[in-house]
Amino acid sequence: MTSNGECQTANATEKEDWEIQRDYHKSLADAAFRVGAFRTAIAEYSKSIDLEKPSEEVEEAQKPVAVSKLLLVLYSNRSAAYLRNSEKSKALKDAQMCVELDPKFIKGHSRLASALHSLKRYEQAHDAYNQVLKLDATNPPAKKGAAECAKALEAIKQQAFELEQDRKERLLAQEQADEEESKGLEKEKDEEKQQSPEEAEDDLLNDFFDEVEEVTTKKEDELKADKATNFIKNDRKTLGSAKQQMDRLLQSNYEWRNLNPFYVLQLPVEATDDDISRRYKALSLLLHPDKSGGSDRAQLAYDQVQKAKNTLNDPDRTRHTRMLIEEGMKVGQRLWKTQKAGEKRTLQEVEEREIMRLFAQVEQKRKEVTQRERQFQQREQQQEDQEMEKERKSRQFDKQWRDEGRVDKRIGNWRDFQQKKKPKKD
């Protein structure tokens, strides 16, 4: 007769190879979950589930298949890992699998309630918590979750009620306003009927003056439009030819020169919004590619004008642009005053050079920040791709292991070895 220790050793050695692998992956998953490595836990639970659940051939041949308690635990644990990793839909799917496999599995209903709660499906979550309480009336998390869902449902109901009340009040106010307007019109008609000939004549005279004022206002608007058109025409005269503008906007290093939108539009920094709009229209009419037979140079110069206008359409960017220009002018004035004897740079030349230098420095820093962000995103994507590839190879290895029958061979060899061993004597 064998001792208890020998019986336990014999039971341990009776485990098949796939069972050892299953338990190994589960232990790795449990450890990863405890330290917060939820993605690793999910991957290891998935491997353990693949080894534990029956194959498709077994499921077809034996219906219904008895569900192991361990399989329920694995699905439940993976659901919790998915939820902690903010993969709520996958957590719900695993929880539903638990309930489908065993409707009396309390932990499965608890996972289902938590997943639904996180997805803000409060009504379904409330029902799931109540199902947990039917199976375990003293379950504290279920009591707390049911209370929170009930509170959320009440808040939603109250919000819907308030919205409906607000809608009714607005409709009632509109109806009252329409009714008052209708009464006012009727009152005006009654007053018109009761007017004396002198009052009626005064009303006609007032209507005449209103018409005169409307015509005058319309004429003033037309004059303003004509004035703006004349400004644009005058701008086009002072801007020169399309070729001259293309040469100016596309000279060497134009990408850096044209960072200053006021330089592109040939306007002073104190130009108004109307000045900017008129100059943009004048340059657009002058440089439009359709007027140059679709020339690439015309299109490129036209794009520079469009870019400058877009910059000045944004109040924040316009304010920042003006600050840079003013700073460049200040620096230029200091340098011009301290230039060495013999230097013949004008104040305007020095200011333009310093303004261009400031815009170039800002653009260079912006490009460096963009490049660092792009490199960071690339590294993150590369790490994610490597992890996915590692998981894919692991799944492929496990599948190949089973397909080649290595599991069955190892199990057969182990059983042959057990049969050849001599039984121990008491």
What pLDDT score does 400 carry? 74
Reply yes or no on whether the pLDDT at 162 is more than 80: yes
Q: What is the pLDDT of residue 5?
A: 47
Q: Answer yes or no: is pLDDT of 230 > 60.
A: no
Q: What is the pLDDT of residue 29?
A: 92
- d(Cα 106, Cα 108) in Å, to the nearest integer? 5
Entry pTM: 0.40
Say if residue 17 is exposed, middle or buried (CB neighbours under 10 Å; 0-12, 13-18, 19+): middle
Could you tell me if 279 and 235 are in contact, meaning their C-beta atoms sit under 8 angstroms apart? yes
Does the pLDDT at position 93 exceed 90?
A: yes
pLDDT digits (tens, 9 = 90+) for 108-124: 899 999 999 999 899 99
Give the pLDDT confidence of 270-322 residue by residue, as tens digits.
Answer: 889 888 888 888 888 888 888 777 788 888 888 998 998 999 888 888 888 88
Question: Half-sphere exposure (CA, 13 Å, Cβ side) for 370?
Answer: 6
> By C-alpha distance, which of 237, 285, 243, 283 is closest to 263?
283
CATH of domain 10-158: 1.25.40.10
* Predicted pLDDT at 1: 37
d(CA 82, CA 41): 9
* pLDDT at res. 410: 60
Tens of pLDDT along 234-274?
565 678 888 888 888 888 888 888 899 989 888 898 889 88
User: Up-side HSE of residue 118: CA atoms within 13 Å toward CB?
Assistant: 19
Q: How many angstroms separate the CA atoms of 97 and 71, rounded?
A: 10
Confidence of residue 30 (pLDDT cuts 50, 70, 90): very high
Residue 96 has pLDDT above 90, yes or no: yes
Tens of pLDDT, residues 206-216: 665 666 566 65
Mean pLDDT of the chain: 79
Give the per-residue pLDDT at 46. Answer: 93
Annotated domain spans of the chain? 10-158, 233-374
- The pLDDT, as a whole number, for residue 417 is 62
Structure tokens given for 271: 């130009």
Phi then psi for 314, rounded to 5 degrees? Answer: -95, 115
pLDDT band at 90 (very low <50, low <70, confident <90, very high): very high
Give pLDDT tens digits for 118-156.
998 999 999 999 989 988 888 899 889 999 999 988 888
Nearest to 348 by CA among 361, 331, 329: 329
Confidence tier at 10 by pLDDT (50, 70, 90):
very low
pLDDT value, residue 160: 84
- In this predicted structure, the answer to whether residue 66 has a pLDDT above a threshold of 70 is no
